[in-house]
């Protein structure tokens, strides 16, 4: 355990915590967009800026990437910090002006319209936070997408700007995107990610045939499940429910015969 000061309060933190972790536990409200528990901190959005003081020096730092240390002083709500975050928000809004989530967060910080011209590369709202790229590589293990280009032309893309052949249609990229930039089309026969030009076959419930997501993703998950559990991915929620209910009634019947008469269900 180590001790640091956050907004004048002494707080304890564990080795490996970031300043954002410790500040959140201390009740500080720090806006953030690219800090996700599923992936390593990347520090792309810069919205989580705070002031840190160490060894007599003060600097602005992204709290999601800054490790705690004994004696560190952190300021999360000074005018300087808030002004810097508003500037960052203006830049983000210039990249993703149509994102409702971003507009709401901006409004909560006092930023309604950015001073900067809108960047509408590929007509896509993307703040280049990298969460989708990192979750695809670190968690899913597909590495189907990355960034291409520079400056205002920098954008998400599949390798060599082709369709994302390595995409398994899991939808993790869309799930983590903080501005809703990635569209997934869950069709009857295909799962499509138009953002990356990817298409994979849909998986269907083994019993009723309802589409239940992507076939390659199901195969990936099945390969990681313990023997005898792969059926967990084969049925739609409704068929699983029916199986559970049937399993329960079978169990009840089996158990009832071994119960003392007083504990058995009363026949209707
Ligand atoms: S698509 Fe979304 S998750 Fe991916 S980099 Fe852009 S904003 Fe981040
Ligand atoms: S949340 Fe820290 S840089 Fe994005």
Residues 252-261 have a mean pLDDT of 41
DSSP 64: T
Q: List the CATH number of the domain containing 175.
A: 3.30.70
For the Cβ of 105 lying below 6 angstroms from any atom of ligand 2, the answer is no
Q: Which residue, 156, 175, 202, sits at the end of a domain?
A: 202
The pLDDT value given to residue 267: 35
Residue 263 predicted with pLDDT over 70: no
Same-domain pairing of 97 and 140: no
Same-domain pairing of 100 and 191: no
Whether residue 263 is contained in a domain is answered as no
For the Cβ of 96 lying below 6 angstroms from any atom of ligand 2, the answer is no
Whether residue 219 is contained in a domain is answered as no
Whether residue 227 is contained in a domain is answered as no
Proportion of the chain above pLDDT 70, given as a percent:
89
The pair of structure tokens assigned to 142 is 């597909």
Q: How far away, in angstroms, is 132 Cα from ligand 1 center?
A: 6
For the Cβ of 128 lying below 6 angstroms from any atom of ligand 2, the answer is no
- Determine contact, residues 105/89, Cβ cutoff 8 Å: yes
The pLDDT value given to residue 265: 36
pLDDT band at 205 (very low <50, low <70, confident <90, very high): very high
Whether residue 217 is contained in a domain is answered as no
Whether residue 118 is contained in a domain is answered as no
Q: Which residues does ligand 1 sit against, CB inside 6 Å?
A: 126-132, 156, 176-177, 179, 181-182
Same-domain pairing of 34 and 88: yes
Same-domain pairing of 103 and 36: yes
Which domain covers residue 129, as residue numbers? 123-202
Q: State pTM to two decimals.
A: 0.83
Backbone torsions φ then ψ of 54, nearest 5 degrees: -150, 135
DSSP 196: G
Q: List the CATH number of the domain containing 80.
A: 3.10.20.740
Whether residue 67 is contained in a domain is answered as yes
What average pLDDT does the structure give for the chain?
87
Whether residue 230 is contained in a domain is answered as no
Q: Which residue, 61, 77, 108, sits at the end of a domain?
A: 108
The pair of structure tokens assigned to 144 is 């189907």
Residue 226 predicted with pLDDT over 90: no
The pLDDT value given to residue 55: 87
Same-domain pairing of 42 and 87: yes
The pLDDT value given to residue 208: 93
Residue 6 predicted with pLDDT over 60: yes
Same-domain pairing of 197 and 159: yes
Residues 46-70 have a mean pLDDT of 96
* Alpha helices in 125-180, H assignment, sequence order: 131-134, 172-176
Query: Tell me: the pLDDT tens digits for 99-126?
Result: 999 999 999 999 988 787 777 655 568 9
CA of 177, closest atom in ligand 1 = 3
Question: Can you tell me whether residue 24 is helix, strand or coil?
Answer: helix
For the Cβ of 62 lying below 6 angstroms from any atom of ligand 2, the answer is yes
Same-domain pairing of 173 and 89: no
Which string of b and e fits 8-18 if b means at least 16 CB within 10 Å? eeebebeeebb
For the Cβ of 131 lying below 6 angstroms from any atom of ligand 2, the answer is no
Q: Which residue, 202, 217, 247, sits at the end of a domain?
A: 202
Q: Where are the extended beta strands (E) located within 100-140?
A: none
Same-domain pairing of 159 and 62: no
Same-domain pairing of 103 and 127: no
201 compared with 255, residue with greater pLDDT: 201
Same-domain pairing of 77 and 14: yes
The pair of structure tokens assigned to 53 is 């003081």
Residues 143-149 have a mean pLDDT of 88
Same-domain pairing of 11 and 79: yes
The pLDDT value given to residue 161: 63
Whether residue 115 is contained in a domain is answered as no
Residue nearest (by alpha carbon) to ligand 1 atom 3: 177
The pLDDT value given to residue 148: 84
Residue 18 predicted with pLDDT over 50: yes
Same-domain pairing of 103 and 145: no
CA of 65, closest atom in ligand 2 = 2
- Determine contact, residues 200/169, Cβ cutoff 8 Å: yes
Q: How many domains does the chain have?
A: 2
């Amino acid at each position: 355990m180590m001790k640091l000061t956050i907004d004048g309060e002494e707080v304890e933190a564990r080795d490996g915590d970031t300043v954002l972790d410790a500040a959140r536990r201390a009740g500080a409200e720090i806006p953030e967009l690219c800090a996700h528990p599923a992936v390593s901190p990347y520090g792309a959005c810069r919205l989580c800026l705070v002031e840190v003081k160490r060894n007599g020096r003060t600097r602005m730092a992204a709290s999601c990437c800054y490790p705690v240390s004994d004696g560190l002083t952190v300021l999360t709500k000074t005018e300087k910090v808030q002004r810097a975050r508003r500037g960052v928000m203006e830049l983000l809004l210039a990249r993703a002006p149509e994102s409702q989530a971003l507009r709401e967060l901006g409004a909560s910080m006092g930023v309604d319209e950015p001073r900067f011209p809108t960047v509408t590369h590929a007509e896509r709202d993307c703040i280049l936070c990298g969460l989708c790229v990192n979750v695809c590589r670190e968690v899913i293990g597909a590495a189907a997408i990355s960034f291409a280009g520079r400056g205002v032309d920098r954008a998400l893309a599949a390798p060599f700007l082709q369709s994302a052949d390595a995409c398994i249609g899991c939808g993790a990229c869309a799930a983590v995107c903080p501005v809703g930039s990635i569209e997934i089309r869950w069709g009857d026969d295909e799962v499509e990610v138009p953002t990356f030009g990817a298409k994979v076959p849909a998986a269907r419930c083994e019993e009723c045939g309802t589409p239940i997501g992507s076939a390659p993703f199901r195969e990936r998950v099945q390969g990681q499940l313990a023997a005898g559990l792969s059926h967990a991915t084969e049925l739609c929620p409704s068929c699983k429910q029916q199986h559970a209910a049937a399993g329960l009634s079978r169990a009840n019947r089996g158990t009832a015969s071994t119960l003392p008469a007083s504990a058995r269900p009363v026949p209707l």
